[in-house]
Amino acid sequence: MNFISGYSRIHQGRLITPKETTVFAAADFHDFLEKAYDQLALAYPKFYKMDPLSRLGVLASEILLRETPVSNYLPDEVAVVLSNAEASLDTDLRYQATIATAPSPSLFVYTLANVSMGEICIRHGLKGENAFFVSPSFDPQWMSRYVDLIMMQDQVKACVAGWLNVLSDRYDVFLYLVEKQKRGLSEIHSAETLARLYQ
């Protein structure tokens, strides 16, 4: 049995954790991202160069791993499993728009969904097994089964998992940390728990 130690949710202008909900009065999605960055006092200039998917991933992982740090594990003991519906389409479309004039190298490098996972891993020094899946919607049943399978490996002690989706100004993020022993939230890692926390 595995346990959910904590989670972070970014949805409808809100940053949500088990402890608190922060609401931002932002003019638009990009303003929201920058206000959230300022609120977290990230001091990570690379954030500005990232595409929205990576920015959301870095914000959500920052919130999650500040409350439930994984620094007690070796880098290759922490896995990452993410999923979303739109892959990197948000950035793909913007890159496509630059092709007619001058294709943007800095947009091109974000035209893969799993790059957002790489940005999370770089930010937090995670080097464990990772995978990014695309599905029509967040599937608690599938996600709980897959993460439990990953956690069966001896070398995997923890897993950052969840849903990271954005297209235009529609965004929906739910990241959570799974560990083999109880800590923090200490909820049983199951489809039912994930469905309840994601609501």
Output 106 or 141, the one with its CB closest to another protein. 106
Contact by Cβ (8 Å): 105, 130: no
CB 26 to another protein: min, Å: 16
Angle of helix 29-40 relative to helix 52-67, nearest 10 degrees, comes to: 30
CB 108 to another protein: min, Å: 9
Under DSSP, is residue 48 helix (H, G, I), strand (E, B) or coil?
A: helix
Any idea what DSSP says for residue 1? -
Output 51 or 92, the one with its CB closest to another protein. 51
Output 58 or 161, the one with its CB closest to another protein. 58
CB 124 to another protein: min, Å: 19
CB 171 to another protein: min, Å: 19
Contact by Cβ (8 Å): 80, 58: no
Any bridge partners for residue 187, and if so which?
4
Give the residue from 187, 154, 157 showing the smallest Cα distance to 71.
Answer: 157
Segment holding 54, helix H or strand E: helix 52-67
Output 115 or 160, the one with its CB closest to another protein. 115
Instruction: Using CB under 8 A, list all residues that contact another protein.
Output: 34, 45, 48-49, 101-106, 109
CB 105 to another protein: min, Å: 4
Output 105 or 136, the one with its CB closest to another protein. 105
